[in-house]
Structure 1
């Protein structure tokens, strides 16, 4: 008599089509860790961000885990919801962006002091069945996020 509890005989599970894309962009900056961190956590000022046009965050609000706010994209003027997942002061900020059903975007900013200057890295992860389409739309702008952040912090220091 066959053993139906064996994993080799169980029927295959249904799998949904799921794509994942992840890219990390790194830039060295002459700005201090504190200056870069202030630019990252100033959720009201997204003038340096090539993907976001504006947010509904009041000036002076500090990024805290659990904070949910809205933003508007530059290329396609649709409102998006942004959820702050993790904050480690002067080191890491992780947010989840909820744009459309079928795609989940997670952006993680890391600020590190190195011998050559301050390194800012921006990791963008897209998951879901719409991620190839969304990635094709935001790829060029996403590659500039870390560089624009570094330039904005350097201009603020001058």
Structure 2
């Protein structure tokens, strides 16, 4: 008679089968902001300043660089100081930014930011799609942070300084 497999091997096998069946995990988060579409777009496309992002601390993108399809740069997470390769896929100004992140072999993340003006304010949509055999494990770690990205973006855009109002002076002088 053959011996029965230990429980941990059975659980590992079940997890591996589930990973193979669920190769892509998708989720979309939405929020409404009082900031304008332009202000939100400026916050999203400022690749050098990701201080508002709950998962990222910094990037190697120079100040002022704007995303264009095909652009590659690196980002650093709050958890580990390892660089993550970031590839810009699609850009529709003031509307959509789609990027792919390659944190480790066996995991690929596609992130899409959509900004749309509505009657109630500006809608921010943050979509995350994880692919690869490590996606279930990564999703269990990322889920609480991913749920906060859209609202963190809204807060950051709302807290930035507003354009010059009538009582403030600019450095521009008319002759």
Bucket of the pairwise TM-score, normalised by the shorter protein: 0.7 to 0.9
1 or 2, which has the higher strand percentage?
1
- With over 3 angstroms needed to count, the CA separation of the structure-2 counterparts of 1:157 and 1:115, relative to structure 1, is farther
SS in 2 for 1:53: strand
Provide the aligned C-alpha RMSD in A: 1.2
> Is 2:119 aligned against 1:115?
yes
The correspondence for 2:91, drawn from 87, 90, 98, is 87
1 or 2, which has the higher helix percentage?
2
Q: Distance in 2 between matches of 1:20 and 1:72?
A: 23
User: Structure 1 stretches of 5 or more lacking a match?
Assistant: 1-15
- Asked if 2 retains the 8 angstrom alpha-carbon contact of 1:35 and 1:157, the reply is no
> Is 2:26 aligned against 1:22?
yes
SS in 2 for 1:144: helix
Which has the bigger relative contact order, CA under 8 A and spacing at least 6? 1
Total equivalences in the alignment: 143
Q: What per-residue deviation string (whole Å, max 9, x for no partner) do you get for residues 68-106 of structure 1?
A: 000110022211000000000000000000111111100
> Is 2:131 aligned against 1:127?
yes
Q: Distance in 2 between matches of 1:121 and 1:157?
A: 23
The correspondence for 1:99, drawn from 86, 103, 107, is 103
Q: Distance in 1 between matches of 2:131 and 2:69?
A: 21
Q: Distance in 1 between matches of 2:79 and 2:107?
A: 17
SS in 2 for 1:90: coil
- CA drift of 1:53 comes to 0.6
- CA drift of 1:62 comes to 0.8
- CA drift of 1:157 comes to 4.4
Q: Distance in 2 between matches of 1:75 and 1:28?
A: 28
User: Structure 2 stretches of 5 or more lacking a match?
Assistant: 1-18, 163-175
Q: What per-residue deviation string (whole Å, max 9, x for no partner) do you get for residues 105-153 of structure 1?
A: 0000000000000000000000111000111111111110000000000
In structure 1, the residue matched to 2:43 is 39
TM-score (norm 1): 0.88
- Asked if 2 retains the 8 angstrom alpha-carbon contact of 1:39 and 1:149, the reply is yes
Larger radius of gyration: 2
The correspondence for 2:155, drawn from 145, 148, 151, is 151
